[in-house]
Structure 1
Amino acid sequence: MENTRLQLEWFNKSKALIPIETGKYGYTWVEPSDPRYCETHTIVLDDYYKGIQLKKDSNYQYSEMADLLPQSDNLLIQGESGDVLEALTRVPEYAAKYVGKVKLIYIDPPFNTSQTFESYEDNLEHSIWLTMMRDRLLHLKKLLAKDGSIWVHLDNVEVHRMRILLDEIFEPQNFVMDMQWEKKYGASNNSHTIASMTDTILVYRKSTDFSPNRLPRTNEMNARYSNPDNDPLGKWKVGDATARHNIGRQQHPSVYGFQNPFTGEIQYPSNGANWYFKRETVKEFLEFWGEYIDGPYDKVEEENRRRIEGNDAELRSDIKPLILKEWNENIGKQNIEKYNKCVLPQFTPTPVGGAILKVYLSEVSGRVPVNLLPFDEVGHNDSAKKEIMALFPDEKPFSTPKPERLLERIITIATNPGDIVLDCFAGSGTTAAVAQKMGRRWVTCELKEHTFSHFVLPRLKKVVMGEDMGGITRTKGERVFDESVTPPEGISVDDAATFTKVLNRIIAENENFKSDSVVRELKRLTKTKRTKEVLNWRGGGGFQVAHLSPACFDYDEKYNIVKLTDEAHGELLIRSIAANLGYKLLEAGVGGIFDAYKGKSVLKVIEGVATPEMVDWLLANLDEEKTLMIASTGVMDGTREYLRKARKGSRILVIPDDIFCSI
C-alpha cells in the first residue's frame, strides 16, 4: 500500500552527507552506500575526571538536590555528532548501554542555516540542514527509551520544517507540545519587522509510556495555605466541599441534605454537584458537632434533589438526609464557640452556611507543566551569557547560550535522578553541567576542538570538582517574615516585601515621613528577611573524556574503489573492523589470539594474507562449537573454501572490499 502520510520533500533527500573537513561544519553529498558514510567510527577513551562531594557548611542551607548521588558514569566525546550517534547505536559495547536507555534527548542544533551554511544557495542550505537532522534523528530515536522524550530547541527559521520531519520520524501521535521560551526580557529596537521574543522547543515522545513529572510548587502557591486552627496535619486552605457529576438517569448517591450544626438549616449541594465524600464519611465528619441520624425523605428533600439532578432523574428515597438527633439554638451557639476554638474536621459546615473542605499542603502534588517558559522562572539569553562569563571571564561568550534554569526545568519534567540525558550538540556544555548537578547520567559531544577544549571540558571539570558556584548551584534563601512580626491575616510574605519596597520609594524624599511613628510601625509589621542561601550542588561524580577514532576507510571516486587510510593499522584497524561488523571486543588477555566476538562467532583481524596454515592454527585454538570470522587484507587462493569446509559457518572477508558488503 502506498504511504499516504504527509512527508516533507527536499533536494537530495535520498542521499547522504559526509564532512568535507574534520572538525568543521561543511558537508558534501554522497550515495548512502559510500563507505565514508557507512563507516562506524570507534570511541577512543582519553582521561577520566573525578570529583569529591564537598562537606556541608553551616553558613548555607542545602536542598534535597544537594544530597542526590553524584553520577560518575558520564561520557564526553569530541567528534562529529552524526558519527558519535552511529558509534553509540552500532558499536556493541555502547549500543548495549545506550540503545533504548536514554530518557531525555535535548538538542539545540547549531545548524541555523544562514549562520552555518552561509556559502550555500538557499534551497541547498535548507536541504543540507534537513538531511543532517534527519540522519541524526533516526539515530536518536534508537537511543531513546520507550518512556523517553526528545526536545528540539529552534528559532523561527526551521521550526515549521522540523515539525514535519519529527512527525515523519517519531509519528504525529507522539507529538507532545511546542514549548515557548522567553529568550529575551525586552524587544530590540533594531528589529526591522516584528521582534522575536521566544524560541520554540518541539517535544516528542517515543511512545505513550512517556509521563511528564510535575514541577515543584512555588512559594506563592504555598503562601495560600495557613493553619488558623493549629491542625496537627499542617497548613491547609479552603477547598470546595462538593464535586461535579454528569446528570444521569439515576440520582448520584452523594446528593442529599444535611443539617447545619450552627443554624439548624438543611443544606444541599449546588445544581449538578454532590458532596465530595461518600455519605458514610460525611456522617463521620459531621458527628464532630453532635450525633447525626437519618432524616425523613419528605417533599422538601425531594424538591431539592430534583433541582440538583434535573427533572428526568430517578431519585433515590433509600438515601436519607442526615439530621442532628438533638438541636436547638443553645446547641448551635455552643457549636459556634467550638468552631472558633477547635481543630476543624477535614469536611465541615460553616456558621454562615455551606461547607468547606480542608485541602492540606502536605497532600497536594506539584504543579502541572505548561508550554510557556517565562524568563523570570527559567532565565534568558543575557542571564546565560553572565553564567558563561562568570566561568570564563577571559573568553567571549556564545551568542545564544541557554541558561541553566531552562535545562533544569526540562530535565525536571522529563527525567528522574539516575536517568540518562543526551545532548549531541554540547555547545557551552550547559545540558551536561545541569544534568550532573541534578544527579542524572549524561552523554554529550562537541564537534569543534576549540569549543570542546576551552568551554565544555573545563566547565564540566569545574562542576565535578565543586568549583562551579553559578547557574543552579545556588538559590537565594526564602523570603520570610522577621521573627518579631505576626503578619496580618491574608498578607503573604511577598505582599509585605512589595509593600515595604513601595513604601520606601514613597518616603525616600520626605524626612518627615521617615521619622513618622505610623510609617515606622507599618515597616515593623511588614518586616521580612531572607533565610540562608541554599546550595543545590556540592560537586562530586565524574566523567570519561573520549574522541572519535580517525577514519579507516576512504573512497576513490575516480576508480570506484574502497581504500584504507594511512591510520588503518594495528589496534585502530582491529577496533574499526569489529565495530563495523558488529563484534564486541574481547578484553586484553581474555581472547588470547582472537580480537572480538558476536554470539558464537569469533573474529580475527589479520594485516596480511590469510592462508590455510593460518586457518589451521586459529581453529586449533578455537572451541569446536564456535565459528571463525577472519578479516584480512589479503587471502590466498582456495583459503575461503578451505575454512568453510574445516569449520561450518566460518568466513573470510577481505579488507577493505568486503567489509561494507557484509553489513
Structure 2
Amino acid sequence: MTELNFKGKEFVYNHHLAVPFRPLMPDESKGIGPVALDGNLIIQGDNLHALKALLPLYAGKVDCIFIDPPYNTGNEGWAYNDNVNAPMIKEWLESNPIGIEDGLRHDKWCAMMWPRLRLLHELLSDTGSLWITLDDNEMHRAKQLLDEVFGLDGFVATCIWQKRFSPSNDEKFISTTHDYLLVYAKEKEVWARGLIPRTREQLELYSNPDGDARGDWASDNYVSNKSKNERPNSWFPITRPYDGKEIWPSPTAVWRYSRTQHKKNVAEGRVWWGEAGLNDVPRFKRFLSEVQDGVVPQTLWRHHEVGHNQGAKQFLKKLFPELDDVFQTPKPLELLLRVLQIASSKDALILDSFAGSGTTAHAVLEANRRDGGNRRFILVEMEDYADRLTAERMRRVINGYDFKGTLRTELLRERLIWRTISNAGELAHKVEAIENLHGHEYDRIKKEVKDSELIVTGEKTVAERAEGLGGTFTYCTLGEPVELDRILSGETLPSFDGIGSILFHMATARAFDPSAMRPDDFYLGNTEGQHVWLIYKPDIDWLKTPESALTLSRAKAFAATDPDSRHLVFAPARYVSQKMLAEQNVPVEFVPLPFALYRIDRS
C-alpha cells in the first residue's frame, strides 16, 4: 500500500502513545442533570488529550464518529499545539497560527491529524464508522492517512454534499458549492449500516393505476441484457393476454425470468402489459409493501435533503440573538441527522472531537425525539467557546430557549417534474389535505416554488420560548496528567478508579467497566480469561507499608476467585517471587508500580 509521507511523520507516528492520561474532571454547575461519565459528555480541552482520557472507559465502544476538523484553507488561523519532543516540531510551535503563506501547512495538518486518527480508531467499535467533512484543501491527503490507519478495506465511500444552494459570485474561477464526507468503517463487512427513508421522488414511482388490491406498485424490467447464447433457457415466447400474440425477446436479450418463474408471475398477476394491455414488452409489478423500508444511501447529498451552511448559520443566530458574531462555519442539523440515519442505531454512542457549535449533540437529541431512541453523545472542544457556545447550545436545546421570530417546519417538498405538472389537480389536492390536517398547528401555511420544487412550510410566530428536547449532559475539563513515577513519592495520588481505569486499559486494550470494580478487594475487572487487580490506596503512608505488597497468601486468594483464569496484579511491591508462584501453580503475574504503565506499553 502506498503511504503518505509528510514532514514530521517520524516524530508523530507513535506520539499518541506518549500522550499522558488525564482524568475527566466534571463540573456539575455547567451540565444538566447528575454527573455521569457514562452519559452525554461535553469535554473542554485539547482533543488529543481528551481522546486519550476517553480510552480507559470507551475503547472499542463508540459506534459513530463524526468530525469536522480544520479544512486548512490558510484563512482559519488554527494552531499546531502538540507537544512532540522534536526540535522541528518545537520550531513549528513558534510559528502559529498557520496561515496561507506557511509552506508547511499541509505537513502540519497531517502531523496534527495522525495521532488523533490513531486514537479515534482505537475508540471505534468493530461495527462502527468514522465520518469526516473536508474540502479540496486536504481531502486527498486525509484519504491517504485514513487508508493507512484503517487499511484499504476500511474505505466505504466519498459522499458529496451540496453546502450551498446557489453559486458565489465572489469566486475567482469556479464557485465551489460542495464539500466531502469521507466514510470509513473499522470492519466494513460487519458495519451496521442503516437505510434512509425513501424520498418523495422515489415514492412517486409507486402508484396503482389498475386498482390492485395489494396496493401501490412500481414496474421493473422484464428483459435482461444477456444474450440467448449466454442464457438459452430464458429465450422463449410468452403470450400477451389481450390478443394472444406470441412475444419474443430480441435476439440480443432474454427474459429475466425462467419459464417456470414466468408462469408463477402470470398466476400472481405480476406481469403488466400497460393500461391498454398492448405493450410490446411486459413489465414486472413490484409492490411497495414488499420492498424494504428504506433505500441504500447514495453518495450525492443535495441541500434540500441535508441542509446547507447558510441555513445552519441562520439557525444559530436565532438560537443566540444576543451574539453579534456566532460560529462562522456550523454544519446543518439535517446533515448530521442523515449521518445518524445511516450510521447509528437507537442506542448508539456518537463522538465528535472537533465539536464546534455542537451540531452533532443537537442531532443526537433530535434523532432520539423522532424515533424514541437512547443515543448518547460525547463532544470535545478545545476553544474558549466550549462553555459559552457549544455547551450553551445544548442547555438551550434541552431546556428550551427564549425566541422571538418565526419557527418553520417543512411539510411538503415536491419536485416539479412533468408527471407532477400533468397531475396538477392531484398535487393541489395533496396540498389542500396538508392545510386541512396541519392548518390549526401553525399561524399560516406558506406555499412557494423554488429551484423547480414546490415547498409547503408551516410557519408559527413565537414570542416567548421554543420548546426544549429534554435530556442531560455532564460538562468536564481535563485534570493534571496521571504520572505513575510520582505516585510513591506522594506528589500525585490519583483515585483508585482513576489509576485503575488506565492500568486496566493498558493491560487489556479494552474499555474499563466501573461497575465491575471492587476497590475494597483491589479488583478492577476481567476480560478474555484474565482478571486484573490493583493493590493501591491513595494514601502515601499506606503505600509504604507491607499491606501494599503482593504476598503469596494474597496471590492465592486472588487466584482462588477463578482458578482457571490468569490474574494480573499491579502493586507497589511484592514479597513473593514469580518463580515461587509458578512452582505452586498460582496463575498470578506481578507488575510493579510505578513502572507498570511503561512495562505494559512496551509490550
Q: Given the two structures, how large is their TM-score scaled by the length of structure 2?
A: 0.71
Equivalences for 1:226-305 in 2 at 5 Å? 226-248=207-229, 251-252=232-233, 254-283=234-263, 286=266
- Tell me if structure 1 keeps the 8 A contact 2:124–2:186: yes
Amino acid at match of 1:13: K
For 1:446, the equivalent position in structure 2 comes to 380
Say whether 1:461 aligns with 2:395: yes
Once the two structures are superposed, what CA deviation does each residue of 1:266-299 show, in whole Å capped at 9, x if it has no partner? 11223344444443454356569xxxxxxxxxxx
Say whether 1:401 aligns with 2:330: yes
Equivalences for 1:7-406 in 2 at 5 Å? 7-16=3-12, 32=15, 37-47=18-28, 49=32, 73-89=39-55, 91=56, 94-95=57-58, 99-110=59-70, 112=72, 114=74, 115-117=77-79, 118-119=96-97, 122-209=102-189, 210=191, 212-248=193-229, 251-252=232-233, 254-283=234-263, 286=266, 345-349=269-273, 350-365=277-292, 366-395=294-323, 396-406=325-335
Say whether 1:477 aligns with 2:411: yes
Amino acid at match of 1:221: Q
TM superposition shift of 1:386 = 1.0
For 2:353, the equivalent position in structure 1 comes to 424
TM superposition shift of 1:154 = 1.2
For 2:564, the equivalent position in structure 1 comes to none
For 2:535, the equivalent position in structure 1 comes to 603
- Tell me if structure 2 keeps the 8 A contact 1:467–1:539: no
Separation in structure 1 between the aligned mates of residue 489 and residue 179 of structure 2, nearest angstrom: 45
Aligned residue for 2:195, secondary structure, equals: coil
Aligned residue for 2:311, secondary structure, equals: helix
Equivalences for 1:631-642 in 2 at 5 Å? 631=572
- Tell me if structure 2 keeps the 8 A contact 1:113–1:125: no
Give the paired residue count: 507
Separation in structure 2 between the aligned mates of residue 372 and residue 488 of structure 1, nearest angstrom: 23
Amino acid at match of 1:10: F
Asked which structure has the greater RCO (Cα within 8 Å, sep 6+), the reply is 1
CA RMSD of aligned residues (A): 4.4
Separation in structure 1 between the aligned mates of residue 151 and residue 246 of structure 2, nearest angstrom: 56
Separation in structure 2 between the aligned mates of residue 381 and residue 531 of structure 1, nearest angstrom: 20
Amino acid at match of 2:66: Y
Amino acid at match of 1:392: F
Amino acid at match of 1:15: F
Separation in structure 1 between the aligned mates of residue 135 and residue 490 of structure 2, nearest angstrom: 40
Separation in structure 1 between the aligned mates of residue 420 and residue 136 of structure 2, nearest angstrom: 49
* Closer/same/farther in 2, CA of residues 498 and 188 from structure 1, 3 Å limit: farther
Q: Which moved more, 1:107-116 or 1:117-126?
A: 117-126
Separation in structure 2 between the aligned mates of residue 499 and residue 601 of structure 1, nearest angstrom: 67
- Tell me if structure 2 keeps the 8 A contact 1:41–1:579: no
Amino acid at match of 1:357: F
Once the two structures are superposed, what CA deviation does each residue of 1:362-404 show, in whole Å capped at 9, x if it has no partner? 3344444332222232221111101111211112221111101
Amino acid at match of 1:74: N
Out of 571, 574, 577, the residue aligned to residue 630 of structure 1 is 571
Say whether 1:547 aligns with 2:477: yes
* Closer/same/farther in 2, CA of residues 246 and 474 from structure 1, 3 Å limit: farther
Once the two structures are superposed, what CA deviation does each residue of 1:160-214 show, in whole Å capped at 9, x if it has no partner? 2212211211122332222222222333333344433222222222233136433
Out of 647, 653, 659, the residue aligned to residue 593 of structure 2 is 653
Separation in structure 1 between the aligned mates of residue 575 and residue 212 of structure 2, nearest angstrom: 87
The list of structure 1 runs, each at least 4 consecutive aligned residues, that deviate by more than 6 angstroms after superposition, is 497-500, 531-534, 562-567, 585-589, 616-623, 642-648
Separation in structure 2 between the aligned mates of residue 405 and residue 189 of structure 1, nearest angstrom: 26
For 1:413, the equivalent position in structure 2 comes to 342
Say whether 1:491 aligns with 2:431: no
Once the two structures are superposed, what CA deviation does each residue of 1:523-569 show, in whole Å capped at 9, x if it has no partner? xxxxx9969799xx983443333332222449xxxxxxx76899964
Separation in structure 1 between the aligned mates of residue 244 and residue 532 of structure 2, nearest angstrom: 85
TM superposition shift of 1:620 = 8.0
* Closer/same/farther in 2, CA of residues 221 and 50 from structure 1, 3 Å limit: farther
Once the two structures are superposed, what CA deviation does each residue of 1:61-94 show, in whole Å capped at 9, x if it has no partner? xxxxxxxxxxx943322222112222222x2xx1
Once the two structures are superposed, what CA deviation does each residue of 1:191-243 show, in whole Å capped at 9, x if it has no partner? 34443322222222223313643332222332333323322211224433334
For 1:326, the equivalent position in structure 2 comes to none
Separation in structure 2 between the aligned mates of residue 271 and residue 151 of structure 1, nearest angstrom: 48
Separation in structure 2 between the aligned mates of residue 469 and residue 256 of structure 1, nearest angstrom: 69
* Closer/same/farther in 2, CA of residues 620 and 546 from structure 1, 3 Å limit: farther
Once the two structures are superposed, what CA deviation does each residue of 1:121-161 show, in whole Å capped at 9, x if it has no partner? 72444333212211011111122233332111112222222
Aligned residue for 1:604, secondary structure, equals: coil
Separation in structure 2 between the aligned mates of residue 529 and residue 379 of structure 1, nearest angstrom: 14
Aligned residue for 2:283, secondary structure, equals: strand
- Tell me if structure 2 keeps the 8 A contact 1:437–1:463: no
Amino acid at match of 2:204: A
Separation in structure 2 between the aligned mates of residue 213 and residue 568 of structure 1, nearest angstrom: 50
Separation in structure 2 between the aligned mates of residue 33 and residue 220 of structure 1, nearest angstrom: 47
Separation in structure 1 between the aligned mates of residue 426 and residue 73 of structure 2, nearest angstrom: 45
Separation in structure 2 between the aligned mates of residue 266 and residue 463 of structure 1, nearest angstrom: 66
Aligned residue for 2:472, secondary structure, equals: strand
Percent of aligned positions with the same letter in both sequences?
A: 28
Once the two structures are superposed, what CA deviation does each residue of 1:330-355 show, in whole Å capped at 9, x if it has no partner? xxxxxxxxxxxxxxx32144135443
Unaligned runs of 5+ in 1: 18-30, 52-71, 289-344, 481-486, 501-527, 555-561, 632-638
Aligned residue for 1:199, secondary structure, equals: strand
Aligned residue for 1:147, secondary structure, equals: strand
Amino acid at match of 1:457: A
Separation in structure 2 between the aligned mates of residue 662 and residue 356 of structure 1, nearest angstrom: 65
Say whether 1:581 aligns with 2:503: yes
Separation in structure 1 between the aligned mates of residue 403 and residue 215 of structure 2, nearest angstrom: 35
* Closer/same/farther in 2, CA of residues 211 and 642 from structure 1, 3 Å limit: closer
TM superposition shift of 1:245 = 3.2
Amino acid at match of 1:624: A
Amino acid at match of 2:379: C
Q: Which moved more, 1:219-228 or 1:404-413?
A: 219-228
- Tell me if structure 2 keeps the 8 A contact 1:244–1:274: yes
- Tell me if structure 2 keeps the 8 A contact 1:239–1:357: yes
Amino acid at match of 1:653: L
Say whether 1:6 aligns with 2:5: no
* Closer/same/farther in 2, CA of residues 40 and 617 from structure 1, 3 Å limit: closer
- Tell me if structure 2 keeps the 8 A contact 1:381–1:400: yes
For 1:295, the equivalent position in structure 2 comes to none
Amino acid at match of 1:103: D
Separation in structure 1 between the aligned mates of residue 40 and residue 478 of structure 2, nearest angstrom: 16
Equivalences for 1:485-564 in 2 at 5 Å? 490-491=422-423, 539-553=469-483
